[in-house]
């Protein structure tokens, strides 16, 4: 229940998990992390978290880093607007009775030290920039239904 959203009928704690990565390709200048639900009944999925401009020296985001008020992200990292309408981690909250949804956690190794975007950047714009600058990416899928 830690990673479940608190709202929209869900009663979770909305805490982002600890994430650790390694073995990025040569030339990596920064990282980005996203969480996306392709099964959301929207026609376009649902963006739960977008973090970018993570320095290439950083290989870990601590538990709770998705809460902007805690200041747990590395200096320079930016959390942008999710489909919940604000920056920060928004946990899982599929419709009641729907099949389990996929929550795709992806770490991107980027060829630029920073993206020229701020916390008001839309998920589509962030996604475009990530695809344009990705050297590599790795994903982990979790499932949640209620």
pLDDT (mean) for 124-133: 98
Range of the structural domain that residue 48 is part of: 6-144
Each residue of 20-79: pLDDT tens digit? 999 999 999 999 999 999 999 999 999 999 999 999 999 999 999 999 999 999 999 999
Contact between 51 and 61 under an 8 Å Cβ cutoff? The reply is yes
On whether residue 110 sits in a domain, the answer given is yes
The count of structural domains within the chain is: 1
- Is residue 93 a part of any domain in this protein? yes
Q: Cα–Cα distance between 7 and 93 in angstroms, integer?
A: 8
Does a structural domain hold residue 57?
Answer: yes
Percent of all residues in the chain with a pLDDT value above 90, rounded to a whole number:
99
pLDDT score for 14: 96
* 1 within some domain: no
At residue 146 the predicted structure's pLDDT band, cuts being 50, 70 and 90, is: very high
Average pLDDT over residues 78-94: 97
Tell whether the torsion through CA atoms of 62, 64, 67 and 72 is positive or negative: negative
What CATH number has the domain bearing residue 120? 3.90.280.10
Q: Is 27 left (phi over 0), alpha (psi -120 to 50) or beta?
A: left
Q: What is the pLDDT of residue 49?
A: 98
Question: 128 pLDDT band (50/70/90 cuts)?
Answer: very high
Structural domain includes residue 136: yes
137 part of a folded domain = yes
Separation between Cα atoms, residue 9 and residue 28, nearest integer Å: 40
Is 120 among the domain residues?
yes
Q: Identify whether 84 is part of a domain.
A: yes
């Amino acid at each position: 229940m830690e990673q479940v959203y608190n709202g929209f009928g869900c009663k979770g704690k909305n805490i982002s998990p600890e994430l650790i990565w390694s073995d990025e390709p040569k030339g990596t200048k920064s990282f980005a992390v996203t969480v996306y639900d392709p099964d959301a009944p929207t026609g376009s999925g649902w963006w739960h978290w977008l973090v970018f401009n993570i320095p290439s020296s950083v290989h870990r985001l601590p538990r709770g880093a998705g809460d902007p008020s805690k200041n747990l992200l590395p200096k320079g990292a930016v959390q942008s607007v999710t489909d919940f309408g604000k920056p920060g981690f928004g946990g899982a909250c599929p419709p009641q009775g729907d099949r389990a949804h996929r929550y795709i956690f992806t770490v991107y190794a980027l060829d630029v030290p920073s993206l020229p975007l701020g916390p008001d950047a839309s998920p589509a714009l962030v996604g475009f920039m990530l695809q344009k600058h990705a050297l590599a990416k790795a994903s982990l899928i979790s499932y949640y239904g209620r």
